[in-house]
Amino acid sequence: MSASPDPEARFEVAVSTDKDQVDWNQLEFKGDSFPKILVRERATGKLLAAIQYSCDANSDARPIRENMKATWTPKGDRVALTVSERFYSHVIVFVIRDAPRGGIACKEVKLPAFPIEAVIPGFKEFRPRSHESVMGWTNEGHLRISRSVSADTLPGESGQVVYSAVYSFIYDLSHPRNPILISMNRDSQS
């Protein structure tokens, strides 16, 4: 994802630095030196948002931009990123709007936490290998994502069991500060 533009090519998502760039080996991976995920206005190059790349940038040999996928709404006013590494992936969402005092505002949307303890029978502890990915946007502009989870459960009649499941979620992001979970479905389990 060297630069992934929205459908109208007004904005783009990119990474600040990557493994195949000359300065990669000089990064200390502490403080402000971590790679960043950038949202920019294409015409001006103006930076609208910059957040730290939150996966392990060295989890495999590929450039980190290859571990990111941008899914834009048809209007290009929202983008959902699937950011992945070897054992983990998650979704980051940005909403881009006209700012009240002029210009453009870009805000990261914090999706509600997944209530893993509530949906896994006999939950004991979460297993850290989980994956979350963007499935797309609905015609109404709602975000569809998928989350796979696994956990150890409390010993039962057959002993301790590892529970795994894949859930799909639909979120209404009309009010980015308060996303609403519209639906949650268990797609598979073992």
Least confident of 4-13, 26-35, 117-126, 167-176: 26-35
The reported pLDDT for the residue numbered 21 is 62
User: Which ranges of 37-151 would DSSP assign to H, the alpha helix?
Assistant: 116-119
pTM: 0.81
Phi-psi region of 174 (alpha: psi -120 to 50; beta: other; left: phi over 0): alpha
Residue 177: enclosing H or E segment and its boundaries? none
The reported pLDDT for the residue numbered 1 is 42
**Confidence band of 181 (pLDDT split at 50, 70, 90):** very high
Dihedral angle, C-alpha 5, 135, 133, 72, nearest 10 °: 20
pLDDT tens digits for range 24-62: 555 555 556 667 888 989 888 899 998 877 766 666 666
Query: What separation in angstroms does the CA of 171 have from each of 19, 35, 165?
Result: 34, 28, 19
Nearest to 7, CA basis, from 62, 56, 67, 75: 75
pLDDT tens digits for range 128-152: 677 889 999 999 999 999 988 777 7
pLDDT tens digits for range 58-110: 666 666 667 788 899 988 899 999 888 777 888 999 999 887 787 888 999 99
